[in-house]
Amino acid sequence: MIARLVDGVPKRALILLGLLMAAMLVAPLLVDPYILSVLVIILYFAYTGQAWNVMMGFAGQLSLGHALYVGLGGYTAAALYVHFGIGPWAGVWVAIAISMAFGLGIGFLAFRFGIGGVYFALLTIAFAEFTRIGFDHFDWVNGSGGLFLPVEQYSVNDLPNLRGSPTMFYYILLALTAGAFLLCRWLLTGRIGYYWLAIREEPEAAQTLGINVFRYKMIAVAISAGMTALSGVFFAFYYNNLFPEQIFNISRSIELILGPIIGGVGSLFGPILGAFVLTVLAETVTEVMHALGYEIPGIKQVFYGICLLVVIIYLPHGIWPPLRKRLGLEQKP
Amino acid sequence: MSAPLLSVSGISKSFRGLRAVRQASLEVPQGGIVSLIGPNGAGKTTVFNMIAGVFRPDEGSITFDGKRIDGLRPDQICHAGIGRTFQIVKPFKELTALENVLVGALRAERDVRAAKRKAEAVLDRLGMLDKRGQPAAQLTLPERKRLEVARALAGEPKLLLLDEVMAGLRPTETDQMVAVFREINAKTGMTILLIEHVMRAVMALSQQVVVLHHGQVIADGTPEQVVRDPAVLECYLGEEAAV
């Protein structure tokens, strides 16, 4: 199984990956709290982007409503914690199950009735939007007033209840991101991965080669939704508050797919690289504007838009594939 | 004589009032090579699509290997043992030639490494092993046609449906292709049903030729019988083709 993960990967790539991992592991010891919070955001987008990539990058199904799964995951775990005192490590499984069920429901409606391409994307937006409106009126989780988790000062990290310092959250996210990377690598080098790519490239030909297209699309949606639910659980316990208007918002759905698009849809390292590049640049722009004395609301969004334009025009496959080639890290056939 | 591997009896298909195929019947014996020929628009590809599960016939039945297969989905047909190629090639463009064939090989061989070895063997047989690492998007049309065949072969079908795989090939390439199919047929006993316009290939390969015209079967026999059939000469081959 481990052999399959590294099969055909150049040694240099493994060494660079190891170095990156080592750097990420020691980073909290070296950086100030602000940089650490930026690193948390980077990892959050890297992980969530990887989850979205399973559906779009591998199986070719464009979801523009992934905030739905973030929100459902976050709300489920937070509500279980607030109302019943069920800890996040138990609640996360319920969160995953509920997100998967929603994903499978949407997938069934779309794939069973042949809704594809842009219409599928619209369907995903619609589900995210009406779930947002539904949660606005969902009194059990305090509707539009928002759901708050109890906040106290902690002298020690309470890992079982996910209460503690940013450093603890950083390491949890790092583990999640690394785990998602390995999981995706494992999926992509297996039978299911090749079947997804075939479906992405040419569904009719894929079916002719014996692939049950409906089933494999459903599996992609379930895995992607389940992985994304974890982002939501993290979000809830890190920020301690959830508002339907924020977490289910379409701008959140768009924000979390920018990383993989800029990094390289369908590549494994693309979402991670994209999250790094985008977050670091956006923070820099904000800092520079701040230093120059300008406070322009929405500057980050404008900047995201420009990045997206530049990448789509000049690097339609994202930054990572050409960079990978230049670094000589391409996989041997 | 044993029961035919594929038996199509009285199938019809209409598209919004246009009767593309009318009551067509044909049989393909186990281990045989049968050609389906006819003018453009005769309904050849529609017959293929009904056998391959893309369309459900309006009437009639299709029996393969002793089981009814009409109405099954294309992936179920594939698992029943029928592989096909598309007239307009549909490669997985961003995947390499090897990965394209690998997807086909994974039907019979679940282990990726073993499937990869099998895919390499199939590419080698079709003289494409040197292209293994190239994305399908970069292949020439004749190469893509061969890739299409390789992908179908990798699934180890009992019956191979070839939809105009010789079209656009040079005569020498056609002869190579014919040699490949002959060898596969002789070695593995794989049954082949092909749609073809290139008579050079039809005459060299087939033991039996079925002629379709306006959706109906107008002739069915050995190649020598069919090319002398007056009805076939009139509607398809033309007088000069009488060889």
Strands B59-64 and B6-15: antiparallel
Q: Do A205 and B86 touch (CB under 8 A)?
A: yes
Closest to B94 in 3D by CA, of A156, A257, A194: A194
For residue range B136-180, list pLDDT tens digits in order.
999 998 899 999 999 999 999 999 999 999 888 888 889 988 999
Instruction: Tell me the three state secondary structure of residue B218.
Output: strand
- Residue in chain B nearest A211 by alpha carbon: B75
**Would the pTM of this model clear 0.90, i.e. be above it?**
yes
Provide, as residue numbers in chain A, all residues whose Cβ is less than 8 Å from the Cβ of B84: 208
Alpha carbon distance A56, A143 (integer Å): 31
Give the chain B residue whose CA is nearest to the CA of A202. Answer: B92
Q: What is the pLDDT of residue A157?
A: 79
Whether A208 and B132 lie within 8 Å, measured CB to CB: no
* Å between B151 CA and nearest CA of chain A: 8
State the number of CA atoms in the 13 A half-sphere of B63 facing the CB. 13
pLDDT digits (tens, 9 = 90+) for B169-209: 888 889 988 999 999 999 999 999 999 988 889 999 999 99
For A267, residues 6+ apart whose C-beta sits below 8 A from its C-beta are A57, A318, A320, A321, A324
Cα B207 to Cα B124, B179, B191, distances in angstroms: 27, 15, 11
Q: How many CB atoms lie within 10 A of CB B130?
A: 10
Give counts: helices (H), strands (E), chain A: 15, 2
Q: CB neighbours of B230 closer than 8 A, spacing ≥ 6?
A: none
Cα distance between residue A22 and residue A276, in whole Å = 16
Between positions 33 and 52 of B, the ones with CB within 8 A of A are 52
Mutate to test the interface with A, among B48, B82, B92 (most CBs of A within 10 A): B92
Whether the CB-CB separation of A128 and A65 falls below 8 Å is answered with: yes
Question: Could you state, in chain order, the average pLDDT of each consecutive group of 10 residues for chain A (333 residues)?
Answer: 81 92 94 94 97 96 96 97 92 97 97 91 96 95 91 75 87 96 95 97 96 97 98 95 95 94 94 95 88 82 88 92 88 68
In eight-state DSSP terms, residue B207 is: S
pLDDT score for A1? 67
Taking the C-alpha atoms of residue B54 and residue B46, their distance in angstroms, rounded to an integer, is: 9
State which fold the B4-81+157-240 domain adopts.
Answer: Rossmann fold (3.40.50)
For residue B16, count other CB atoms closer than 10 A to its CB: 4
Asked whether the beta carbons of residue B90 and residue A205 sit closer than 8 angstroms, the reply is yes
Residue B240, pLDDT score: 55
Residue B73 token pair: 């989905």
pLDDT of residue B242: 46
A211 vs B: CB within 8 A: yes
Q: Selecting from 1.10.150, 3.30.70, 1.10.3470, 1.10.3120, what CATH number does the domain A2-13+33-326 have?
A: 1.10.3470
For chain A, the domains span 2-13+33-326
Alpha carbon distance A219, A235 (integer Å): 25
Q: How confident is the model at residue B243 (pLDDT cuts 50, 70, 90)?
A: very low
pLDDT tens-digit map of B64-96: 999 999 999 999 999 999 999 999 999 999 999
Q: Is residue A263 a contact partner of residue A271, using CB atoms and an 8 Å limit?
A: yes
Beta strands in chain A (DSSP E): 147-148, 241-242
**Any residues with CB less than 8 A from the CB of A67 and at least 6 apart, and which?**
A128, A247, A248, A249, A250, A252, A253, A256
pLDDT in tens, B113-139: 999 999 999 999 998 999 999 999 999
What is residue B239's predicted lDDT score, i.e. its pLDDT? 59
Closest partner residue to A189 among B78, B112, B151, by Cβ?
Answer: B112
